[in-house]
Amino acid sequence: MSAPIVSRQLARATLRTTARRTLATSARQTFRQHSGRRFYSSESPKASSSSTLVYLAGAAVAGAAGFYFYTQSSSAGVKVFNPTKEDYQKVYDEIAKRLEENDDYDDGSYGPVLLRLAWHASGTYDKETGTGGSNGATMRFAPEGDHGANAGLKHARDFLEPVKAKFPWITYSDLWIIGGIAAIQEMQGPTIPFRPGRQDKDAAACTPDGRLPDGAKGADHLRGIFYRMGFNDQEIVALAGAHALGRCHPDRSGFDGPWTFSPTVLTNDYYRLLLEEKWQFKKWDGPKQYEDAKTKSLMMLPADYALIQDKSFKQWVEKYAKDNDLFFKDFAAVVTKLFELGVPFKEDTERIIFNRRNA
């Protein structure tokens, strides 16, 4: 095992076994930029046997969270499969155990890109027309999958294909959201409840380009995007805290670098760094972005910096920078809202709380 791989494994182990503030400090010392771009392609699904799971759409329309026909060519009988909480937990566990299976991917975790997939699948919602949102998983199709804001999310979709093959009864729409929840919880974030019942749609339901935030723009743009979904200023800032995780890639968004020193652990450091570090324009051939003057290893997008330029946004940045518990409480509430936008749940559908693997 190479020294860089060992170093990353030790860094992540340190992050999980120390206090949250120590987490960020330790990560600041051990975290380093990765020069190469990394890709992931899942193996092709194995050929199906004579047993096949076929989704029963009629039952869903009638209000069922998940009913499926189970047919066997060797038998004339038809069984109905109704997923339980335990079945959904198994899906969560399968995702969670694989998050760090490829130590060469980004910072050693697929968590950030899975969260981005769930976010972008949900963030297309339009409250006026009732279109978009996580109900549909229409990013599987062109043109939505090819929208610039979704560049690189094929890695997340490919990562989840083996999970879909193992649990063919689950819809892509529910699977992608469970992936986002697993990412948050396994990266030390707050508990996010899950409500099943999303149904997949075809390419005709693809949303138009331009519904997701553009990192190169400012406060007016952010309000236009998020108000369309039904969010307010406080919720906009709380959702932005997800930028504590992951990094930008020149071959995807065009931007480059992580927002924090601990990109695989969710903390309120995104807000602290926005306020405490001195930010300057990065001198490079890429799009306009900021870098921290001290180490030049962190980045902020113009849309991030707008949060401390706008008075209404900044008050919430300051609150979350001072209080990680408040950030977690508000982040959990607004992410739950985001993931459920536009989903026609049955009224008595209960929310599920998943047990964590990395408790």
Q: Which residues carry out catalysis? A: 120, 259
Are the beta carbons of 288 and 320 closer than 8 angstroms?
Answer: no
Are the beta carbons of 237 and 326 closer than 8 angstroms?
Answer: no
Structure tokens at 188: 């030390």
Torsion of the alpha carbons at 345, 230, 337 and 97, rounded to the nearest 10: 110
Structure tokens at 224: 């236009």
Are the beta carbons of 83 and 175 closer than 8 angstroms?
Answer: no
Q: Tell me the C-alpha distance between 326 and 68, whole Å.
A: 41
Q: Tell me the C-alpha distance between 172 and 269, whole Å.
A: 32
Residue 290's H or E segment, with its range, is strand 290-292
What does DSSP assign to residue 48? P
Q: Tell me the C-alpha distance between 242 and 233, whole Å.
A: 16
What does DSSP assign to residue 143? T
Q: Tell me the C-alpha distance between 260 and 267, whole Å.
A: 9
CA angle 113/161/259 to nearest 5° reads 5
Structure tokens at 111: 């968590």
Q: Tell me the C-alpha distance between 235 and 128, whole Å.
A: 19
Full DSSP string of 61-76: HTT-S--EEEEETT-S
Exposed, middle or buried: residue 205 (CB in 10 Å: 0-12, 13-18, 19+)? middle
CA angle 161/162/163 to nearest 5° reads 90
